[in-house]
Structure 1
Amino acid sequence: MPMYERFYSSVTGKKGRWITLLVWLVLAVVLTVTLPAVGDEEANNAANLSDTKPSVQAAAVDATEFPSDSGTPALLVLHREGGLTADDLAGLQKLTAQWEAAPLPEQVGVPPLHKLPMPALQAELSEDGSTIVAPVLFAAGADTETMKESLDQLREDAAATLGGDPFNTETDAADALSARITGPVGIQVDATGLFKNADVSLLLGTVLLVLIILLLIYRSPVLAFIPLIAVGFAYMVVGPILGAMAREGWITIDSQGISIMTVLLFGAGTDYCLFLISQFRHHLGEVESKREALLKALTGSAGAIAMSGLTVVLSLSALLFAQYGAYHRFAVPFSLSILIMAIASLTLVPALLAIFGRTSFYPFVPRTAEMIAERARKKGKPVPAKKAARAGRIGRLVVRRPWAVVLSTVIVLGVLAGFSSQMKVTFDILSSFPSDMESREGFKVIGEQFSEGSLAPVRVIVDTEGSDVKAVSERLSKLPYVASVSEPEQGQVNTNIAAMDINLTMNPYSLEAMELIPQLREEAAAALTASSSDSAADDRVWIGGQTAEQYDTKVTGDRDTRIIIPVVIGLITLLLLIYLRSVVATAYLIGTVILSYFAALGLGWIIIHYVLGADAMSGSIPLYAFVFLVALGEDYNIFMISSIWEKRKRMPLKQAISEGVSETGSVITSAGIILAGTFAVLASLPIQVLVHFGIVTAVGVLLDTFIVRPFLVPAITALLGRVAFWPGKHEEVKEPSSAASH
């Protein structure tokens, strides 16, 4: 007996099944009790850019030369339709005096508005006198939870001093004072709060969705819970392991990663369980022994499950090549969760099926023809005639008219893929927030009453080497996209270093603003060159601030995309070559999934832009969607093509294709609906980046499930015939003359 059969036999044996269940139970309990929970080790303010990036270097120079101004600002926006009153401004002065005397937690600075005479303070108002913005600076390295506590205290202080409830007053309320907190600190705290609140609702929504779909498909309460039990155990195991790794500093994990990991576990994990369950149900209709049926199911599906899991694990591990922190942080949690889930699918799920046996499918219990006949005789009923097995309509269609199927599906996918060229991306974090979120409302008020650029000024730092810094500020102020330039500040360590804040005339988080960063650098360097004998001043200019950081984010993300996409394709190609031993099949399996990916981007853009009305999607979605869709889409191809490869050894190829498509059709359709549904749950969250990611991934899975897997791939296989197996050989099995027509 081969080693893998001995392993399957031990896992499903009379004692082995209980031992397997006990091992998973003990492992889950011990890890949960002894190791930290992954949620307790979240680091939602972890840096995404390395120290080598220009904006990070600018921040380091800023912190050294201008330590008093090196904090991260929270912007308190006070607004009253018709104009702020003297009492409003006096209240603000009391607040700045209070925060100067008794700073908020992690506060490093506050403007001394209380020391300004009233006319000078009124000069800081918007043109119509309705709005003023007061920055409160916090330590750059402060954790989000502490900053949240500080902002909560800030609101309490402001409400007590200003009177009423300004933070819950509509910004357009007539003759009422409204207050909002925005700026980098407000945005960061709001973003973290969204993800934190989303975790529980996402978990509950995903569990309920999977449970309902399983009940509708299989109509068996026992069977519906078996995949959920397996996913639950896998989650209980992977969570503490990730928590321990994060505590040791080996990895960094955040709320967004945990949210997507949860969806991935339930979606992909349930798929693996269903691949085995479908085989088990099929063999229960052929053999009376439930254990023999389970061993046959494992023999027939374990290889495909292991291969599918390995494909996803390696694809997600490719994110380790990323330089951008958010991409890199996802690699270990995602790949480890799928690895543990695949192990659970090949050990815990077989043990549970061995324990429940045919009862797993109650009340629709699969039985052999002999068992059905025996039950009928005992009840005194006529023995039902045995239904002849026949291929489904789709299976017959793809082998009878492969050219028509290939051309029609390629046209559909190609048209959808064409829309991907119209897709626009954004790195504006504010666009991910609900329109009624405080930091977004505050930003809107600033944009309407001042320059939008004042929300996040661009910090320009130069080393003058003794030349006049005014030449730089004057040149920058003349640029058409610059609203204002602050007075230059002199460095405290190196007096030749000067810094100035630039307010742009546009949204500083927009793609348009980000593209101006190289121009600002060139203009500042040119001004330095013109005022000194140095012919190259690029190394004496540093550009910092949120806009510069997002520009570096885009550049880094583009680099990661160029590296990771070929790595993922290469890894999957290598695995398919080893598994199928066919260059031709590997080529068209990869090609169809890539076509499906671009079609998913195109269809996703149609929904996001033309239906939901969004102007752009997050710049990180194309890479995330590629890694997920190519890996998960190949899962379905592997499971279906494995069935064809196995059947063609004992029947004609066209019959093997037809029956392979029909045999795997229902389980892959069920798995695809569940996986798409779990990703679609993300679209219910109030976070636009997850909404867009959920939409693109869900439609991509559905395209793979209902077009690529049942039609395109088998039709190409039918067209190519024995060439599909090259350089391997295919010996065509002749159909017996008495065989039924398929």
Structure 2
Amino acid sequence: MSWIIGRRSAWVVIVLWLAIAAALSPLAFQLPDAQRNDAAAFLPSDAESTRLLAEQRHFPGGDAVPTIVVLDRPGGLTNADRAAAARIGQALRPFASGPVLGPVPSPHNRTLILTVPLAQRDDASAFTDDVREMRRVARPLVPPGAQIAITGPAGLVADAFHLFSTIETLLLLVTATIVAVILLVVYRSPFLWLVPLISVGIADQTAAGIVYLLARHTGLTVNGQSSGILRVLVFGAGTDYALLLIARYREELTRHRDPRRAMREAVSRAGPAILASAGTVIIGMLCLLFGLLASDRGLGPVGAIGISTALITMMTLLPAALVLCGRRLFWPRIPHFGEHPPVTDTARRGPAARTAHAAALAAPTIPGHEDLTEFDLAEEEGRWVRISAAIDRRPRTVWVLTSLLLGALAIGLLAMDTSLRQDEGFRHGVESVRGIGLASADFPPGATAPTYVIVDEGAARATAAILRGSPEVAASTEVGRTGGKAQFLVVLRSRPDSPESFAAVSSLRERLHGLAGAQALVGGNTAVNLDVRRAAERDRQVIIPMVLAVVLVVLVFLLRAVVAPLLLMATVVLSYLAALGASAVAYRWLFGFPGSDPSLPLFAFIFLVALGVDYNIFLMTRVREETARIGSRPGVLHALAVTGGVITSAGVVLAATFSALVIFPLVQLAEVGFVVAFGVLLDTLVVRSILVPALALDIGRAIWWPGRLARANDGFDAGGT
């Protein structure tokens, strides 16, 4: 640590970080270009939809994404409309990687559609530009009174990417503004807030640049969701680490004349908790690597890179900058050496505070704190002393009632609906969704997202018969043969991505798989989303227990106990269920969302459990430190009093940064932002501030079993009931 905060080396650290930020910032702004927002990119290689896509590449234009052009006239199509459709098809032919199908009129002659196979691109921005250019070319060719929309899988992907790319800069500005305002309120200093804000901004640009390089050169899957989460995760977690370190540094400045010695002491005291909390989140994120979905496996490294970068920046750049700026940075509330205001209001603080103070006066000095002759209560904020005293009066009643409240919120899980369709993912109207509505009014709903079937050529006739006889199929036609394979385009009667369409795909697969020698594959957009949902369910079943086990092991090693980690995990899981239940109710009746993404429960779990444990780590490591010094009960009370303000500020920062995701015009990100923000506040204000201290007070030293702290007797462990 000494080399980071040395008189000359601190400048080297700052210059090095500025050089890293300057090199990676241009790459960070290119991160949207590396995104892949189509569901097919998320699937494992052995999924049936993925195998069909591989087979389709052998057909002419087989790697294309269907683009559906919808031309509609409510009063009925005219000859001019049909002629215009032919011209539109001709004008869009340069974009097609295969034959343009149609125009096909609807049964009621109000709508017609053309299918343009648009070549897939690794560059999401270029793909979106192609769709935008197709819209620009087609729009002037529409006769007066008719309306046109370009939709289908290509239109949905292009609209999603466009929204992600346009909101990226706004998200960064909103997140930075939220953090700046909170830091100003917390520190009430015109200068201090700038240091952590600049540090976390450098961490953000560094992390985004690293992720871009990995996405471009290693195949790391990055989509708009993981890109947006990266930004709020770095700002939120980085600011949390800064708040905790600065709070301890300010405390140590009153105990040491030399700011460098104060910083060394602050890092040695707060550093292990910050390192453990960051390590917990990193390990939890990396558990996503065991998922089937590429979106899950991609979010794991993206989140881990973000947290790691935030941790390294806040433990190197921030200490170097703070030490160079000195005490004056805290103006107008500059911490001075020996600043220990007399505790004149101990009597007014109640029996809990008097007990803690009595034990503190009898405690020996701490190595490194030889300049102290009594326990410093100056950092105990009045409100947190009162809260700790209130909990101490009836801890068992408090934790029982709090647990019942969280359990009541968890009942809201009955309202959770994870059947959000792809076209329902936009919070505002976009052309692709409008086109689906126009086509569905006069065509079978599956016309805008065709299903594909590929079989061995010898089974083509039998396959055609099965498709004609399937009640789920509105229409089917053979669209090509190559390499001994035949391909069919199938239009389902049900709306894409609905439970009915998923059941239809499953039924077709069951029938065609039983066809001898067919080697049948059923894919297409609806089949892709069905496979995504099944993979998401499997990932939840595998990753959630894995994260619980890993976090529990980390806590056992950190706290050197078994009972405390088990209790902490139980409280965090209860908090997660309560947050998810309350969010499910809010999604349905407050926001009016049509449903939730199937990956939401897993993402919410990763963030709320890993981040929720963070605040319990910050609290319980201080409780352990104080218990070893002044006893169990006063140690809990004092730890809550001195950490209450800073940990609450950290929780508010993290919740506020995640709430910035609610500005996204996409349901999936808005839902992630709300559940994490609500869950972090619930964990900070209820679980860490009330439930965990009440349990610790009620259980006493036994909470540290089987460690040595559980066997000590300090005479201060009697609590209320």
1:576 Cα deviation (Å)?
0.9
Within the candidate set 290, 294, 304, 1:321 is matched to 290
Equivalent residue number for residue 365 of structure 2: none
Equivalent residue number for residue 359 of structure 2: none
Within the candidate set 237, 244, 265, 2:206 is matched to 237
Within the candidate set 523, 528, 537, 2:511 is matched to 523
Equivalent residue number for residue 509 of structure 1: 497
1:682 Cα deviation (Å)?
0.3
Within the candidate set 629, 639, 642, 2:608 is matched to 629
Q: In the TM superposition, what whole-angstrom CA distance separates every residue of 1:682-701 from its partner, at most 9, and x where no partner exists?
A: 00111110001101111110
In structure 2, do the counterparts of structure 1 residues 132 and 584 end up closer, same or farther at CA, with 3 Å as the change threshold?
Answer: same
Equivalent residue number for residue 356 of structure 2: none
1:561 pairs with 2:540:
yes
Aligned counterparts, 1:287-686, within 5 A: 287-367=256-336, 392-463=385-456, 465=458, 468-469=461-462, 472-482=463-473, 484-489=474-479, 491-494=481-484, 497-526=485-514, 528=515, 534=516, 540-686=519-665
Amino acid of the structure 2 residue aligned with 1:162: V
Identity of aligned residues (%): 33
Residues 626 and 635 in structure 2, CA contact (< 8 A), matched pair in contact too: yes
Amino acid of the structure 1 residue aligned with 2:697: A
Amino acid of the structure 1 residue aligned with 2:577: F
1:474 Cα deviation (Å)?
4.5
Equivalent residue number for residue 78 of structure 1: 71
Distance 1:707 1:387 in 2: 25
SS in 1 for 2:46: coil
1:716 pairs with 2:685:
no
Distance 1:639 1:225 in 2: 24
Q: In the TM superposition, what whole-angstrom CA distance separates every residue of 1:637-664 from its partner, at most 9, and x where no partner exists?
A: 0000011000011112111101111111
Give the TM-score taking structure 2 as reference length.
0.88
Within the candidate set 18, 27, 37, 2:11 is matched to 18
SS in 2 for 1:190: helix
Q: In the TM superposition, what whole-angstrom CA distance separates every residue of 1:78-131 from its partner, at most 9, and x where no partner exists?
A: 11221222212111112223444xx12x54321365xxxxxxxxxx43344321
1:252 Cα deviation (Å)?
3.5
Give the TM-score taking structure 1 as reference length.
0.86
Distance 1:699 1:254 in 2: 24
Aligned counterparts, 1:114-263, within 5 A: 124-141=104-121, 143-162=123-142, 176-249=145-218, 251-263=220-232
Residues 722 and 729 in structure 1, CA contact (< 8 A), matched pair in contact too: no
Quick check: 72-81 or 247-256, which moved more?
Answer: 247-256
Equivalent residue number for residue 674 of structure 2: 695
Residues 460 and 502 in structure 1, CA contact (< 8 A), matched pair in contact too: yes
Equivalent residue number for residue 53 of structure 1: 47
Q: In the TM superposition, what whole-angstrom CA distance separates every residue of 1:598-640 from its partner, at most 9, and x where no partner exists?
A: 1111011111111112231111111111111111111100000
1:236 Cα deviation (Å)?
3.2
Equivalent residue number for residue 740 of structure 1: none
Distance 2:213 2:477 in 1: 49
Amino acid of the structure 1 residue aligned with 2:599: S
Distance 1:488 1:510 in 2: 25
Within the candidate set 38, 60, 66, 1:67 is matched to 60
Q: In the TM superposition, what whole-angstrom CA distance separates every residue of 1:348-406 from its partner, at most 9, and x where no partner exists?
A: 11112212222232222233565989xxxxxxxxxxxx979676122122332111111
Distance 1:142 1:283 in 2: 53
Q: In the TM superposition, what whole-angstrom CA distance separates every residue of 1:499-537 from its partner, at most 9, and x where no partner exists?
A: 4333222211123322332222123345x3xxxxx5xx6
Amino acid of the structure 1 residue aligned with 2:563: V
Q: Can you give the 5+ residue segments of structure 1 that lack an aligned partner in the other structure? A: 1-6, 114-123, 165-175, 374-385, 529-533, 737-742
Quick check: 557-566 or 144-153, which moved more?
Answer: 144-153
Amino acid of the structure 2 residue aligned with 1:200: T
Quick check: 182-191 or 155-164, which moved more?
Answer: 155-164
Q: RMSD between aligned alpha carbons?
A: 2.6
Amino acid of the structure 2 residue aligned with 1:137: P
Amino acid of the structure 2 residue aligned with 1:336: I
Equivalent residue number for residue 346 of structure 2: none
Amino acid of the structure 1 residue aligned with 2:472: Y
Distance 1:27 1:564 in 2: 34
Q: Can you give the 5+ residue segments of structure 2 that lack an aligned partner in the other structure? A: 343-376, 717-721
1:707 Cα deviation (Å)?
0.7
SS in 2 for 1:544: strand
Q: In the TM superposition, what whole-angstrom CA distance separates every residue of 1:154-175 from its partner, at most 9, and x where no partner exists?
A: 23332333356xxxxxxxxxxx
In structure 2, do the counterparts of structure 1 residues 563 and 210 end up closer, same or farther at CA, with 3 Å as the change threshold?
Answer: same
1:30 Cα deviation (Å)?
4.5
Distance 2:589 2:50 in 1: 37
SS in 1 for 2:3: helix
Amino acid of the structure 2 residue aligned with 1:417: A
SS in 2 for 1:223: coil
Amino acid of the structure 2 residue aligned with 1:513: S
SS in 1 for 2:117: strand
1:204 Cα deviation (Å)?
0.3
Distance 1:335 1:516 in 2: 39
Residues 454 and 521 in structure 2, CA contact (< 8 A), matched pair in contact too: yes
In structure 2, do the counterparts of structure 1 residues 266 and 130 end up closer, same or farther at CA, with 3 Å as the change threshold?
Answer: same
SS in 2 for 1:82: coil
1:490 Cα deviation (Å)?
5.9
In structure 2, do the counterparts of structure 1 residues 187 and 586 end up closer, same or farther at CA, with 3 Å as the change threshold?
Answer: same
